Amino acid sequence: MTSWETKAAEMVEKQIQARGILSERVLDAMRAVPRHLFIPEELRESAWADCPLPIGEDQTISQPYMVARMTELLSPEEGDSVLEIGTGSGYQSAVLAAMGAVVTSIERIGSLAARARDTLASLGFAVNVIWADGRERVGCAEVFDGVVVTAATPAVEEWWTESLAPAGRLVAPVAVMSGGERLLLRLKNADASLTDTWLDYCRFVPLLGGTQTGSVDGACQ
Ligand code: SAH
């Protein structure tokens, strides 16, 4: 039987390096995180496939390449604080944490937040998972070096940009047409002005308002 490390290395080589992701830190993190443990038991055989997969509650874990692409755009340094909106399975958080980022992640579905928290903790990733609507400002006036949104948003919420530190970066799939998004990379300059760059077209599950408890049970682990 092939070990998951071999499958992860193959995924990185064929799906991620082959498409031009060059950051060794991103590639190393994606080799190091056991993606299969963030996926429901019955789908685990497909964990390394080149596509998003269902994780329950009508939500998905993103395609590995999309996780790599957003992580490379964010490029967190060791010790940087990163806010994620849309925890889902917790996989994107784990990749960021594996790069040494200090991650806070917000999820609106309680059952997914609980499962992601369990999976991350069991793997030793100290991610702060918060059950809340990430469109609304959460908690204290914390400032983040990076913000990554992993659900399709009609617009960039003001508090996400306000929470960026100088030289901070935000990456978000912003709706640009019916059923389609485009990745926005927003840099906050030293004088607090913003530089926006529009990148890849993509497809994410929608950012929704409010919270719900959800019903999927148990940890993926
Ligand atoms: N990053 C995830 C994939 C996210 S799928 C991973 O690595 O698995 C998008 C997630 O965003 C879903 O779990 C969905 O419930 C969540 N979401 C949607 N709207 C939200 C909101 N307003 N606040 C927080 N989470 C939200």
Task: For each of the domains in the chain, give its residue range(s) and CATH number, in order of start.
Answer: 3-202 (3.40.50.150)
The Å distance, Cα 150 to ligand 1 centre, comes to: 6
Q: Is 135 in the pocket of ligand 1 (CB under 6 A)?
A: yes
Q: Is 94 in the pocket of ligand 1 (CB under 6 A)?
A: no
Burial 182-219 (b: 16+ CB within 10 A, else e): ebbbbebeeeeeeeeeeeeebebbebeeebeebebeee
108 touches 116 (CB < 8 A): no
Q: Which residues pair with 109 in a beta bridge?
A: 212
Q: Is 62 in the pocket of ligand 1 (CB under 6 A)?
A: yes
Q: Is 70 in the pocket of ligand 1 (CB under 6 A)?
A: no
What tokens does 116 get? Answer: 């992601």
Which pLDDT value is given to residue 138?
84
Residues 39, 168: Cα–Cα separation, whole Å: 31
Catalytic residue among 23, 46, 62, 81: 62
Measured CA angle at 34 (ends 124, 18), to 5 deg: 130
Residues 205, 87: Cα–Cα separation, whole Å: 12
Which pLDDT value is given to residue 84?
98
105 is a catalytic site residue: no
Probe residue for ligand 1, chosen from 95, 181, 208, 213 as the CB with the greatest number of ligand atoms within 8 Å: 208
Q: Is 214 in the pocket of ligand 1 (CB under 6 A)?
A: no
For ligand 1, atom 16, the nearest C-alpha belongs to 86
Which pLDDT value is given to residue 181?
95
Q: Is 52 in the pocket of ligand 1 (CB under 6 A)?
A: no
147 touches 82 (CB < 8 A): yes
Residues 12, 4: Cα–Cα separation, whole Å: 12
Where are any strands of DSSP class E within the chain? Answer: 53-56, 59-61, 81-85, 102-107, 128-131, 144-149, 164-177, 180-188, 194-202
Question: Mapped to the 3 state alphabet, what secondary structure does 103-160 carry?
Answer: EEEEECEHHHHHHHHHHHHHCCCCCEEEECCCCCCCCCCCCEEEEEECCEECCCCHHH
Q: Which amino acid is at 45?
A: E
Which pLDDT value is given to residue 209?
94
Q: Per-10-residue mean pLDDT for the chain, 221 residues long?
A: 91 98 97 97 95 95 98 97 98 98 97 97 97 88 93 96 96 92 97 96 94 74 51
Which pLDDT value is given to residue 215?
80
Which pLDDT value is given to residue 62?
97
For ligand 1, atom 2, the nearest C-alpha belongs to 88
Q: For residue 33, what is the DSSP state?
A: S
The Å distance, Cα 5 to ligand 1 centre, comes to: 27
Which pLDDT value is given to residue 141?
63
Q: For residue 35, what is the DSSP state?
A: G
